[in-house]
């Protein structure tokens, strides 16, 4: 847990009181490397100068929105993201998850719940200790140490969620992993309703590890059940 507490967290919200309360709650839980920003400009400046491990982004910001900020952050960082959305804004939830966000919370929320979600997300993302260094899938080599797919001279970085899903599939290689099991691995106990989001992540993962994503040879769909990662002995 000490290693997780040393991770740097970026908190972005233009509500001064909420920003202060959230920062205080995280610090009380042992997270002392908290960086706060009130707008997109400040958030990007922090992201460019620090290795952020997790981002908590408000959707509504004075100089843009959390979705646009998310896309900009993704150009330089693969840190997992939690969106903070206004009450009843279901479209915000759907849009955020489709973009690849890891979690969301609806305002107002309990600080204790936020701390629990932050802890769980950091634990799922950074406490993966693979027994093997990587796996060869056709012309692609996936490093478990770096989360990078090597394809010829190209290096393609996996997102946190893609890495978690691939690791779960590899742990059960050549066997069916149910959609529920994959959602549980990626989103924890509150995974209900993430099935469509799982499909989006699987599609993007195929684009990174398959020669022909539309005709996958390794990451297969098992209709009605889930997915299977096919790894042959010579790979």
Tens of pLDDT, residue by residue over 151-194, are 888 899 998 889 999 999 998 999 999 998 898 888 876 666 67
Min mean pLDDT across 68-77, 128-137, 211-220 is at 128-137
The pLDDT score that the predictor gives to residue 134 is 83
- Pair (81, 165) in one structural domain: no
- The domain tally of the chain equals 2
Where among 65, 95, 126 does a domain terminate? 126
Span 17-42, mean pLDDT?
93
Residue 138 above 50 pLDDT? Answer: yes
The pLDDT score that the predictor gives to residue 132 is 58
The pLDDT score that the predictor gives to residue 93 is 66
Q: Is 74 inside any structural domain?
A: yes
Residue 79 above 80 pLDDT? Answer: yes
Query: The CATH number of the domain where 220 resides is what?
Result: 1.10.10.10
CA distance 62 to 226: 42
Which residues contact residue 6 at a Cβ distance below 8 angstroms, ignoring those fewer than 6 apart? 33
Sign for the CA dihedral angle at 167, 170, 172, 178 comes to positive
- Pair (75, 55) in one structural domain: yes
Which residues contact residue 52 at a Cβ distance below 8 angstroms, ignoring those fewer than 6 apart? 8, 9, 10, 35, 46, 77, 79
Q: Is 235 inside any structural domain?
A: no
Where among 91, 126, 161 does a domain terminate? 126
- Pair (153, 58) in one structural domain: no
- Pair (17, 120) in one structural domain: yes
CA distance 208 to 220: 14
- Band (87; pLDDT cuts 50, 70, 90): low
209-219 pLDDT tens trace? 999 999 999 99
The residue range of the domain holding 89 is 2-126
- Pair (51, 97) in one structural domain: yes
Chain-centre distance for alpha carbon 143: 17
Span 112-128, mean pLDDT?
84
Q: Is 53 inside any structural domain?
A: yes
The pLDDT score that the predictor gives to residue 191 is 62
- Pair (164, 73) in one structural domain: no
The pLDDT score that the predictor gives to residue 130 is 45
The pLDDT score that the predictor gives to residue 123 is 84
């Amino acid at each position: 847990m000490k290693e997780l507490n040393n991770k740097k967290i970026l908190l972005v919200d233009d509500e001064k009181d909420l920003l202060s309360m959230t920062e205080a709650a995280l610090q009380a839980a042992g997270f002392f490397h908290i960086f706060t920003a009130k707008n997109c400009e400040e958030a990007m400046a922090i992201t460019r100068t620090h290795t952020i491990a997790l981002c908590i982004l408000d959707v509504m910001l004075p100089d843009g929105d959390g979705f646009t900020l998310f896309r900009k952050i993704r150009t330089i960082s693969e840190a997992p993201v939690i969106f903070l959305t206004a009450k009843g804004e279901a479209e915000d939830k759907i849009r955020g998850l489709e973009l690849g966000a890891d979690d969301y919370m609806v305002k107002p929320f309990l600080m204790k719940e936020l701390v629990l979600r932050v802890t769980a997300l950091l634990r799922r993302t950074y406490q993966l200790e693979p027994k093997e260094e990587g796996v060869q899938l056709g012309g692609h080599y996936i490093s478990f140490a770096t989360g990078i797919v090597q394809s010829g001279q190209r290096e393609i970085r996996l997102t946190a969620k893609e890495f978690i899903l691939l690791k779960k599939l590899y742990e059960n290689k050549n066997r069916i992993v149910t959609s529920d099991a994959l959602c549980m691995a990626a989103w924890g106990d509150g995974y209900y309703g993430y099935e469509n989001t799982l499909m989006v992540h699987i599609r993007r993962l195929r684009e990174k590890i398959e020669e022909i994503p539309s005709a996958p040879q390794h990451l297969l769909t098992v209709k009605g059940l889930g997915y299977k990662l096919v790894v042959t002995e010579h790979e």
